[in-house]
Protein backbone atom coordinates (compact mmCIF):
# COMPACT_ATOMS: atom_id res chain seq x y z
CA UNK A 1 0.00 0.00 0.00
CA UNK A 2 2.84 2.35 0.83
CA UNK A 3 4.77 1.67 -2.37
CA UNK A 4 1.69 2.06 -4.57
CA UNK A 5 0.30 5.00 -2.55
CA UNK A 6 -2.92 3.14 -1.76
CA UNK A 7 -4.83 4.84 1.03
CA UNK A 8 -6.19 3.14 4.12
CA UNK A 9 -9.46 4.67 5.34
CA UNK A 10 -9.97 3.46 8.90
CA UNK A 11 -13.61 4.49 9.59
CA UNK A 12 -13.35 4.05 13.34
CA UNK A 13 -16.60 5.78 14.24
CA UNK A 14 -18.77 3.10 12.65
CA UNK A 15 -16.89 0.25 14.34
CA UNK A 16 -17.02 2.13 17.66
CA UNK A 17 -20.78 2.55 17.23
CA UNK A 18 -21.36 -1.16 16.60
CA UNK A 19 -19.05 -2.15 19.49
CA UNK A 20 -21.11 0.08 21.80
CA UNK A 21 -24.34 -1.51 20.54
CA UNK A 22 -22.97 -5.03 20.96
CA UNK A 23 -20.04 -5.47 23.38
CA UNK A 24 -19.20 -8.80 21.74
CA UNK A 25 -17.88 -6.70 18.84
CA UNK A 26 -15.34 -4.89 21.06
CA UNK A 27 -12.52 -7.32 20.12
CA UNK A 28 -12.99 -6.31 16.47
CA UNK A 29 -12.65 -2.63 17.43
CA UNK A 30 -9.46 -3.47 19.32
CA UNK A 31 -8.08 -5.41 16.34
CA UNK A 32 -8.97 -2.49 14.07
CA UNK A 33 -6.99 -0.12 16.31
CA UNK A 34 -3.96 -2.45 16.41
CA UNK A 35 -3.95 -2.82 12.62
CA UNK A 36 -4.22 0.96 12.22
CA UNK A 37 -1.12 1.42 14.38
CA UNK A 38 0.72 -1.04 12.12
CA UNK A 39 -0.40 0.94 9.05
CA UNK A 40 0.88 4.16 10.59
CA UNK A 41 4.22 2.57 11.50
CA UNK A 42 4.57 1.22 7.95
CA UNK A 43 3.96 4.67 6.45
CA UNK A 44 0.78 3.72 4.62
CA UNK A 45 -1.10 6.84 3.52
CA UNK A 46 -4.29 7.46 5.49
CA UNK A 47 -7.43 9.31 4.39
CA UNK A 48 -10.45 10.06 6.52
CA UNK A 49 -13.82 8.45 5.93
CA UNK A 50 -16.80 7.86 8.17
CA UNK A 51 -19.18 5.19 6.81
CA UNK A 52 -21.72 7.61 8.18
CA UNK A 53 -24.83 5.43 8.03
CA UNK A 54 -26.31 5.41 11.55
CA UNK A 55 -25.04 8.83 12.65
CA UNK A 56 -26.66 12.23 12.69
CA UNK A 57 -25.43 14.61 10.01
CA UNK A 58 -22.69 16.82 11.40
CA UNK A 59 -21.11 14.26 13.71
CA UNK A 60 -18.47 12.99 11.29
CA UNK A 61 -15.68 14.92 13.06
CA UNK A 62 -15.67 12.14 15.66
CA UNK A 63 -13.51 10.29 13.15
CA UNK A 64 -10.69 12.83 13.68
CA UNK A 65 -10.83 12.26 17.43
CA UNK A 66 -10.67 8.50 17.02
CA UNK A 67 -7.79 8.59 14.54
CA UNK A 68 -5.78 10.59 17.08
CA UNK A 69 -6.88 8.29 19.91
CA UNK A 70 -5.50 5.33 17.97
CA UNK A 71 -2.14 6.85 17.09
CA UNK A 72 -2.21 9.69 14.57
CA UNK A 73 -0.98 13.14 15.41
CA UNK A 74 -3.62 15.87 15.19
CA UNK A 75 -1.84 17.36 12.16
CA UNK A 76 -1.76 14.01 10.36
CA UNK A 77 -5.47 13.50 11.12
CA UNK A 78 -6.30 16.95 9.68
CA UNK A 79 -4.28 16.10 6.59
CA UNK A 80 -6.09 12.76 6.31
CA UNK A 81 -9.40 14.64 6.17
CA UNK A 82 -8.27 17.34 3.74
CA UNK A 83 -5.23 16.91 1.50
CA UNK A 84 -5.22 13.10 1.60
CA UNK A 85 -8.97 12.84 1.16
CA UNK A 86 -8.79 15.07 -1.90
CA UNK A 87 -5.93 12.99 -3.31
CA UNK A 88 -7.78 9.72 -2.73
CA UNK A 89 -10.80 11.09 -4.60
CA UNK A 90 -8.64 12.31 -7.49
CA UNK A 91 -9.48 15.93 -6.72
CA UNK A 92 -6.16 17.13 -5.32
CA UNK A 93 -6.04 19.86 -7.95
CA UNK A 94 -9.43 21.24 -6.87
CA UNK A 95 -9.83 20.83 -3.10
CA UNK A 96 -8.17 19.79 0.12
CA UNK A 97 -6.27 23.03 0.64
CA UNK A 98 -7.06 26.67 1.29
CA UNK A 99 -5.65 27.85 -2.00
CA UNK A 100 -6.72 30.35 -4.65
CA UNK A 101 -9.04 28.72 -7.16
CA UNK A 102 -9.75 25.68 -5.00
CA UNK A 103 -13.16 24.69 -3.68
CA UNK A 104 -13.15 25.21 0.08
CA UNK A 105 -15.45 25.41 3.05
CA UNK A 106 -14.08 26.92 6.23
CA UNK A 107 -15.04 26.04 9.79
CA UNK A 108 -14.15 27.66 13.08
CA UNK A 109 -13.96 25.79 16.35
CA UNK A 110 -13.57 26.92 19.98
CA UNK A 111 -10.00 25.81 20.45
CA UNK A 112 -6.84 24.65 18.79
CA UNK A 113 -7.27 21.35 16.90
CA UNK A 114 -3.52 20.76 16.87
CA UNK A 115 -3.63 20.67 20.68
CA UNK A 116 -7.08 19.06 21.09
CA UNK A 117 -8.46 17.47 17.93
CA UNK A 118 -11.88 16.96 19.59
CA UNK A 119 -12.55 20.69 19.18
CA UNK A 120 -13.46 19.80 15.58
CA UNK A 121 -16.58 18.17 17.02
CA UNK A 122 -17.82 21.61 18.11
CA UNK A 123 -18.04 23.77 14.99
CA UNK A 124 -19.20 27.30 15.77
CA UNK A 125 -18.87 28.99 12.37
CA UNK A 126 -19.07 27.75 8.76
CA UNK A 127 -18.40 29.43 5.44
CA UNK A 128 -19.60 27.37 2.48
CA UNK A 129 -19.06 28.51 -1.09
CA UNK A 130 -18.11 31.95 0.24
CA UNK A 131 -21.31 32.37 2.25
CA UNK A 132 -21.65 32.21 6.05
CA UNK A 133 -24.09 29.38 6.70
CA UNK A 134 -23.58 29.00 10.45
CA UNK A 135 -22.63 31.68 12.92
Domains of the chain, start order: 12-134 (3.20.20.140)
Contact 63, 46 (CB under 8 A): no
Please list the rounded mean pLDDT of every run of 10 residues in the chain (135 residues): 95 88 92 96 94 74 95 97 94 89 88 96 89 85
Residue-wise over 33-64: b if at least 16 C-beta within 10 A, else e? beebeebbeeebbbbbbbbeeeeeeeebbbbb
pTM: 0.89
* Predicted pLDDT of residue 60: 85
Amino acid sequence: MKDKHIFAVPTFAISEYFAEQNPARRPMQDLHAREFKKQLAAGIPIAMGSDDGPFHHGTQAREFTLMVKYGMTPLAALQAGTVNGASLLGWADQLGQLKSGYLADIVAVPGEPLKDISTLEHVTFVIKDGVVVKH
